[in-house]
Amino acid sequence: MRRFLSVPLTAALGAATLASAVPVKLGNVPVTVEPNAKLLTLSAAGIRTAFPSAAGRPDAVFMTEDRKVSVAFEWRASKLAQNEVAKLVEQFPGVIRAQVPNIRSLKANLVQVGGAPWAQFVFTTPGQGDELRRELMVTSAGGRMLVITIAGNLKDYSKNEAVVRTLANSVRVN
């Protein structure tokens, strides 16, 4: 599992632009989303700054206006067939618990987004002043693993939940 963003994205946001409300194809990722004006889009340079290690670097990243919650899209080389997505709900929590220290809560569900099944994992870990909330949404795209990571403090996520959920629910695998 890749490391979660541990540096502030503020420096990387110098290369961010406001997202529009029209459907957008995410570069090489086989996904279309409908971002809105309350989201910033990190440029390729901004993503490289925020995620300096090429290993696990997302392909596309959106940030909330207050720069507190990120939504990262990563189309991994790992193979994943559509019929294997449901199995992840049972298998992946053990992997998360083994690789992420001090998990306070972990919920795993199978959800439908844009007509596709997604394994959804929401977990919290201790943070300074507030718990850190991470959500991984995983599905199959072109026989490969497509991962959306929603990251922020629990309090900041709560303030931005409507905008983040609207983006996540707009995802369509092409």
In a domain, 14, yes or no: no
pLDDT tier at 7 (50, 70, 90 boundaries)? Answer: very low
Q: Averaged over 120-127, what is the pLDDT? A: 96
In a domain, 144, yes or no: yes
159, burial (CB in 10 Å: exposed 0-12, middle 13-18, buried 19+): middle
Q: Which residues contact 108 (CB under 8 A, 6 or more apart)?
A: 89, 90, 92, 93, 119, 120, 121
Q: Averaged over 133-148, what is the pLDDT? A: 96
Domain limits for position 43: 24-173
In a domain, 167, yes or no: yes
In a domain, 19, yes or no: no
* Residue 122: CATH number of its domain: 3.40.1000.10
Q: Which of 24-38, 88-102, 113-127, 153-167 has the lowest mean pLDDT?
A: 24-38
Give me 113's structure tokens. Answer: 């987004």
In a domain, 6, yes or no: no
- Please give the angle made by the CA atoms of 124, 121 and 137, to the nearest 5 degrees: 125
pLDDT of residue 4: 39
In a domain, 16, yes or no: no
Residue 18 pLDDT > 80: no
In a domain, 17, yes or no: no
In a domain, 124, yes or no: yes
Number of domains making up the chain: 1
Give me 99's structure tokens. Answer: 């690789």
